Amino acid sequence: MPPTTVLSLRLPADRAESLKRLARRFDRSTAETAARLLDEGLRREDFALIEFRDSPVGRQAYVEGTRVAVWQVVNLVRGYGEDIQKTAKHLTWPVSKVRAALNYAAAFPEETQSAIDDGKAYDFTRLSRLVPALERIEVPPDVIQGK
């Protein structure tokens, strides 16, 4: 764990109550919740097109305006042999969105790799328990290869 610094801050009473409610929801202390929110806010400032959301497997970095987590983009880029253009075309995104995910992943490689490893642990059956609306779509290999 990196070194830490203790800071104090003043919040309006209504914001402090919101923070306490959120801390209870996350089953964390108010200080832990405030630190997490501050960290995520600073990361959003430092990395374009990145936001944070709760997911079935925990809090994760996502590409803004999409349903795709950063780790999923990294996995897809690897699948396309590191070809960012092909990945962007696959996702029907501008290349800048793929690069945004890769920039974040490069800054937080352990977090990203952990999420990739966690993702591998979830097969369809396990995921469908977490996401009841999940559907499996089988795509023939010749369609994937563009034949």
- Chain centre to alpha carbon of residue 65: 12
> If pLDDT is split at 50, 70 and 90, which confidence band does 145 have?
low
Please state the pTM of the whole predicted model. Answer: 0.81
Q: Where in the chain is the domain with CATH 1.10.10?
A: 49-135
* 86-140 per-position pLDDT tens digit: 999 999 999 999 999 999 999 999 999 999 988 787 777 877 887 788 888 777 7
How far is it, in rounded angstroms, from Cα 10 to Cα 101? 34
> CA-based diameter of the chain, in Å?
62
Q: May I ask the CATH class of domain 49-135?
A: mainly alpha
* 73-84 per-position pLDDT tens digit: 999 999 999 999
* 1-27 per-position pLDDT tens digit: 779 899 899 999 999 999 999 999 989
- Give the pLDDT confidence score for residue 146 in this predicted structure: 60
Q: What is the 3-state secondary structure (H, E, C) of 44-60?
A: HHHCCCEEEEEECCEEE
